[in-house]
Structure 1
Amino acid sequence: MQAKVKWVDGAQFLGESGSGHSVVMDGPPDHGGRDTGVRPMEMLLLGLGGCSAFDVMNILAKSRQAVTDCHVELEAERAEGVPSPFTKIHLHFVVTGRALKENQVKRAVELSATKYCSASIMLEAAGVAITHDYEIRDSE
């Protein structure tokens, strides 16, 4: 896997993935930015959410669950001072569908957290306390 991050100006950077997709990262005005993109630490949090949600949806599809919507809400705490790494992250999955089986949703969230999500496993290995829960909504 490869990526490239190029400085644009101030605190703005353009990130380009190896697959050719780009994203703007920027800082707040008090740090020389113009607030034109996500913060780098927000990107890390979004990456965790995307990795976990991808796994959960993949597992639920394989178990033939009729999912109509899925999102994950993430809350993170960071250490005081510099550097300020994440210390705690909580992922709350909201899975909507028709006749979803709770045991399948629970299993998908657990498997993502413990076996499949590389981002989650990497952050936990670095000492971040990561917790998960889920909510099931009926789309009928």
Structure 2
Amino acid sequence: MQASVKWVDGDTFIGRSHSGHNVVFDAGADSAAPSPMEMVLMSAGCCSSVDVVSILKKAKQDVSDVTVELSAERADSAPRVFTKINLHFVVTGNNVSEKHLARAVQLSAEKYCSVALMLEKAVEITHSHEVVENSAK
């Protein structure tokens, strides 16, 4: 895997993946885009969400929405690394099994999410989840 990052102006950079996708980063106080650390946090959430959605689909769960709410704590002084991250999954659907969701989150955390598995070598990562029933229309 390869990528490049090009400085644009001020504290703004554009990352370009080997597959040709561009992402804007901004580390400034008046940022116009996510900071590199925000991107790392969102990457962990996305990676794990991909797993959870896939596992729930394979379990034939009737899921209409999956959101992961991410919270993180950082060290007070440089380097301001993450010290704790929590991924809280909110899954909406019809009769979604809490047991299936718990298992999907566990499998992602322990086996599949390469981003979180890499980060957990230095960061305390926790997971939580809830099922929200679709409202009747």
Normalised-by-shorter TM-score class: over 0.9
- Partner residue of 1:16? 16
How far has the Cα of 1:111 moved from its partner? 0.3
Gaps of at least 5 residues in structure 1 are none
Identity %: 53
Q: How far apart in 2 are the matches of 1:10 and 1:20?
A: 24
Residue among 46, 51, 58 paired with 1:50: 46
What is the SS of the residue equivalent to 2:73?
Answer: strand
Q: Where does 1:107-118 land on structure 2 (aligned, <5 Å)?
A: 107-118=103-114
Q: Deviations 1:69-110 (Å, cap 9, x if unpaired)?
A: 000000000011111100000010000011111110000000
Partners of 2:127 and 2:68 in 1: CA distance? 10
- Equivalences for residues 1-140 of structure 1 within 5 A: 1-29=1-29, 34-125=30-121, 127-140=122-135
Equivalent-residue separation in structure 2 for 1:99 and 1:19 (angstroms) = 38
Please list the CA deviations of residues 19-67 of structure 1 after superposition, one character each: whole Å capped at 9, or x if unmatched. 21111111224xxxx5111100000001000001000001001111110
Moved beyond 6 Å, runs of 4+: none
Name stretches of at least 5 consecutive residues in structure 2 with no aligned partner. none
Q: What amino acid is the match of 2:96?
A: L
* Aligned-partner residue type, residue 70 of structure 1: V
Give the TM-score normalised by structure 1: 0.93
RMSD (CA atoms): 0.9
Distance in 2 (alpha carbons) for counterparts of 1:92 and 1:24: 26
Q: Distance in 1 between matches of 2:4 and 2:57?
A: 33
Number of aligned positions between the proteins: 135
Paired AA for residue 26 in structure 1:
D
* C-alpha distance in structure 2 between counterparts of 1:98 and 1:19, whole Å: 37
TM-score (normalised: structure 2)? 0.95
